[in-house]
A and B are shown apart, each in its own frame.
Chain A
């Protein structure tokens, strides 16, 4: 089964992950090496993935159909707004009580993760991302996610935001608070942005908070990031085919909660307008389902691009900073320097994006094999 999945993976690798890599000169890391290292990280046991790699499909995704990312972001940026649609306001208000009920006293960080299972036949097939969520066991992934937070962020509380009645309620623990919301499965990314605003408006947002994708594993203590002084901190990468700001890791400081709320309100208001824009939807399709959360952040941050970790900005009255994905939201790609996977311990968050999530299955397989009688 794993071999089959790996073959599927290599046949559908996201072209975007390849384009930025300079022509390898020496010791570029292979896909199998990446998976080996990530599986070892995810499970804590040494894993060596072997097999045959398929040649990269460098043109997969139809590069000729791609628009320059700068053009897309400029369009989205021009749509930036502070006027939240009444429907969005109502939805955020409806979400807030669930966070209020889930709020827990604590001394460490709050970590917010959002995950809903998509309908069984759902696949993502975008210009630069092709993805089938059914290949992955998200309950298992979330268990590892929570384990890493416990290991690195002492005293943290994890809020697992999910759909009402989902299986993720099973993750409940003294330091894990499931928050069940009436998520609309046709617009998960939009509801994720709405939930984040609802959280920031709730009493639960009383501590510094890290918002993470469920496949982003914490790898170092995150508390020290908040010493950099900001209200909102986002992560960015430099890649001409990808949106610079990545939504998967965000830091929200609790020192001025109203500034964070204003930022997230502008973000959601901008999302509303992006989702109604014919140019954007003509290119990406329904961005409430996918892409819109990240695009709305990029729309807000457009005036700070190219991003730098040494500059401060201001968005909607919030002090913002940008930190590079290479250290704070790391997703190693094949073709990069081999040294990259040897220094995973220096990364604050390791992001198992797209095909890298196969490493979770490989880690589980290694654990089963190592177990008594395995």
Chain B
């Protein structure tokens, strides 16, 4: 909480921060801390102790001079290298924690420090001399950071609900965010579903000055290289293996038990394979399946674990467990997320947390190395549909390949604005279809990296795992790995009908053909499961629609909502997206 002009009652500031921290208790069960300068700034922190379990790693943490104080969520994987560099420059450290290194790095390099970090983080750092609050978020958007201006105060939190829990906060649904959610299944930063609350975009920092001014700037921008120098798959694979090994090694630094997600897919399999074979680490691996489902990834995951000699646990999600969770799922959603794999990830993370505190995952592999099946055949499909220019191609992707509610369906809800909002969104990303030399798969992967990945995938992974205080680390977001992925030629991103050929061939060094050829199924709630429990899901859907009808926002758009509700059951994504929105609204207790 930052009040640039100062507050008359410091106790109010501290009480608000305590409330924010309490609302995020699940993210850090190992301790809590609070700090205040008594007039302008108060910081709180919930600690999940992973590195340096001693009190030396406690937060909020101030530097020796007392000028800087930080509250930091996440991990800095290259903190040892940074620490060595800072020590060589004369810096002395009191603890083994990465937090202290982060403080010293900012004190030494200022805002330029963020570009030096390899990590997942969201932080708030107060500079008592400049009297400014600096916020920053990691490159890919693994850790969330929300902020809002409430009167003369700025409030910052890792979760949207924490901000929404503050008393007398006049929140309402943001119309543009509702549009985005219904079109995409998630809300795209910097917007959030609540008007007035903003999400800091990945790879950016924000400085709130002593005069209350905001200055945001990027420190990282992911993009693919145009016309990269050609290299063979073997050469690319070898470079990737080295980069990935380094990334995994840095992500295995922890003073708590470690494990890994292991599906039947390429990405998590490769992370586990490099950890086991190249680094000789025996990670506990975990997978989940669905009782009664026609197929899932458990068999393939078991084969991979056996081939790598890794201990493996499978959690079979029962109908009862799944349904019980689904019924109260609104409480688990920090913000609306229509991804159907939220519930299974939530349940698997719960089981994993019984054995490990940190887990590696293969997230990001699909966006960086072109792994989604929807990329294949897209170019032919859009050309056949006459979608030749950039705007038409993008529209084709969102309305055909990733349909939730087509913008035309949303016209009734937002008759005045929907066309402009749609065009604005398309215009933001149209350059992907204007770039020279890229394949359509590369274009879509860049688009997904900036939109779907942080908005849906990483939001899901963070919120579902942190509900149980399970820290998920993703080696594919190592800066070196991302740079390597960005410099691959089109033919190394997709080769004919083969996705991610570089990853696949690299994994082929560790696993046999049968294990490699396992069909990707995904981890979403199976449609067969939803079909089998149709009555339950219909009840949930009806209840959600009822909640939405009761809001001022949808109440004023009643006819359009009824039309959406009538359309939704025709598409599983639409059905679940509207259900999740209603469950979220109903669980917040906010009068929206």
* A22-B218 contact in complex given A227-B391, A309-B431, C-beta closer than 8 Å: no
B436 near A: Cβ within 8 Å? yes
Which of chain A's residues has its CB closest to B430's CB?
A: A228
Where the two chains meet, the residues of A that have a C-beta atom closer than 8 Å to any C-beta of B are 22, 24-28, 70, 224-225, 227-229, 303-312, 323-324, 326-328, 330, 336-337, 339-340, 343, 346-348
Q: Is the CB of A303 within 8 A of B229?
A: no
Binary interface encoding of chain B residues 8-44 relative to chain A, with 1 for a CB under 8 A from any of its CBs, else 0: 0000000000000000000000000000000000000
Q: Is the CB of A330 within 8 A of B436?
A: yes
Q: Is the CB of B223 within 8 A of A343?
A: no
* A229-B424 contact in complex given A303-B215, A337-B227, C-beta closer than 8 Å: yes
Q: Determine the distance from Cα of A311 to Cα of B219 in the docked complex, in whole angstroms.
A: 12
Q: How far is the CB of A34 from chain B (nearest CB, A)?
A: 13
Q: Is the CB of B217 within 8 A of A310?
A: no
B450 near A: Cβ within 8 Å? yes
Binary interface encoding of chain B residues 548-582 relative to chain A, with 1 for a CB under 8 A from any of its CBs, else 0: 00000000000000000000000000000000000
B116 near A: Cβ within 8 Å? no
Which of chain A's residues has its CB closest to B424's CB?
A: A229
Residues of chain B from 194 to 243 with CB closer than 8 A to chain A in the complex: 201, 215, 217-221, 223, 226-231, 235
Q: Is the CB of B219 within 8 A of A227?
A: no
Q: List 13 A-B contacts (CB under 8 A).
A: A25-B229, A27-B229, A227-B391, A303-B215, A303-B217, A305-B218, A307-B221, A310-B432, A312-B428, A327-B435, A327-B436, A339-B227, A340-B437
Q: Determine the distance from Cα of A190 to Cα of B461 in the docked complex, in whole angstroms.
A: 53
Query: Which of B217, B220, B432, B435 is in CB contact (< 8 Å) with A326?
Result: B435
Q: Determine the distance from Cα of A42 to Cα of B423 in the docked complex, in whole angstroms.
A: 36
Q: Determine the distance from Cα of A343 to Cα of B226 in the docked complex, in whole angstroms.
A: 11
Complex contacts, B219 vs chain A, CB 8 Å: 306
Q: How far is the CB of A71 from chain B (nearest CB, A)?
A: 11
Q: How far is the CB of A39 from chain B (nearest CB, A)?
A: 20
Which of chain B's residues has its CB closest to A345's CB?
A: B436
Complex contacts, A323 vs chain B, CB 8 Å: 431
Task: Count chain B residues whose beta carbon lies closer than 8 angstroms to a beta carbon of A.
Answer: 32
Complex contacts, A336 vs chain B, CB 8 Å: 227, 229
Complex contacts, B231 vs chain A, CB 8 Å: 25-26
Which of chain B's residues has its CB closest to A23's CB?
A: B229
Q: Which of B389, B432, B435 has the most CB of A within 10 A?
A: B435
B256 near A: Cβ within 8 Å? no
Q: How far is the CB of B191 from chain A (nearest CB, A)?
A: 13
B429 near A: Cβ within 8 Å? yes
Complex contacts, A339 vs chain B, CB 8 Å: 227, 230, 437
B427 near A: Cβ within 8 Å? yes
Q: Is the CB of B427 within 8 A of A228?
A: yes
Complex contacts, B424 vs chain A, CB 8 Å: 229
Complex contacts, A309 vs chain B, CB 8 Å: 223, 431-432
Complex contacts, A306 vs chain B, CB 8 Å: 218-221
B402 near A: Cβ within 8 Å? no
B434 near A: Cβ within 8 Å? yes
Q: Determine the distance from Cα of A307 to Cα of B218 in the docked complex, in whole angstroms.
A: 8
Query: Which of A305, A308, A310, A326 is in CB contact (< 8 Å) with B436?
Result: A326
Which of chain B's residues has its CB closest to A321's CB?
A: B431
Which of chain A's residues has its CB closest to B231's CB?
A: A25
Residues of chain B from 409 to 443 with CB closer than 8 A to chain A in the complex: 423-424, 427-432, 434-437
Q: Determine the distance from Cα of A26 to Cα of B233 in the docked complex, in whole angstroms.
A: 13
Q: Is the CB of B430 within 8 A of A227?
A: yes
Q: Determine the distance from Cα of A207 to Cα of B227 in the docked complex, in whole angstroms.
A: 34
B86 near A: Cβ within 8 Å? no
Q: Is the CB of A343 within 8 A of B221?
A: no
B390 near A: Cβ within 8 Å? yes
Complex contacts, A348 vs chain B, CB 8 Å: 434
Q: Is the CB of A308 within 8 A of B435?
A: no
Q: Determine the distance from Cα of A326 to Cα of B226 in the docked complex, in whole angstroms.
A: 7
Complex contacts, A225 vs chain B, CB 8 Å: 434
Which of chain B's residues has its CB closest to A21's CB?
A: B229
Q: Determine the distance from Cα of A25 to Cα of B229 in the docked complex, in whole angstroms.
A: 7
Binary interface encoding of chain B residues 101-124 relative to chain A, with 1 for a CB under 8 A from any of its CBs, else 0: 000000000001000000000000
Complex contacts, B201 vs chain A, CB 8 Å: 311
The 4 closest A-B pairs by CB, nearest first: A346-B436, A308-B221, A326-B226, A309-B431
Q: Is the CB of A337 within 8 A of B427?
A: no
Query: Which of B227, B389, B431 is in CB contact (< 8 Å) with A310?
Result: B431
Q: Is the CB of A337 within 8 A of B217?
A: no
Q: Determine the distance from Cα of A303 to Cα of B111 in the docked complex, in whole angstroms.
A: 11
Q: Determine the distance from Cα of A327 to Cα of B219 in the docked complex, in whole angstroms.
A: 23
Q: Is the CB of B218 within 8 A of A327?
A: no
Q: Which of B221, B235, B391, B424 has the most CB of A within 10 A?
A: B221
Query: Which of A26, A224, A311, A347 is in CB contact (< 8 Å) with B230?
Result: A26
Complex contacts, B391 vs chain A, CB 8 Å: 227
Complex contacts, B220 vs chain A, CB 8 Å: 306
Q: How far is the CB of A111 from chain B (nearest CB, A)?
A: 19
Q: How far is the CB of A53 from chain B (nearest CB, A)?
A: 19
Which of chain A's residues has its CB closest to B431's CB?
A: A309
Complex contacts, A24 vs chain B, CB 8 Å: 229
Q: How far is the CB of B138 from chain A (nearest CB, A)?
A: 15
Complex contacts, A328 vs chain B, CB 8 Å: 434
Which of chain A's residues has its CB closest to B427's CB?
A: A229
Q: Is the CB of B230 within 8 A of A337?
A: yes
Q: Determine the distance from Cα of A337 to Cα of B431 in the docked complex, in whole angstroms.
A: 22
Which of chain B's residues has its CB closest to A338's CB?
A: B230
Q: Determine the distance from Cα of A344 to Cα of B292 in the docked complex, in whole angstroms.
A: 55
Which of chain B's residues has its CB closest to A323's CB?
A: B431
Complex contacts, B215 vs chain A, CB 8 Å: 303
Q: Is the CB of B229 within 8 A of A308?
A: no
Q: A24-B229, A25-B230, A305-B218 are in contact. List 12 more A-B contacts (CB 8 A).
A: A27-B229, A225-B434, A306-B221, A310-B450, A324-B226, A326-B226, A328-B434, A330-B436, A336-B227, A336-B229, A337-B230, A343-B437
Complex contacts, B223 vs chain A, CB 8 Å: 308-309, 324
* A224-B390 contact in complex given A326-B227, A337-B229, A339-B437, C-beta closer than 8 Å: yes
Q: How far is the CB of B128 from chain A (nearest CB, A)?
A: 23
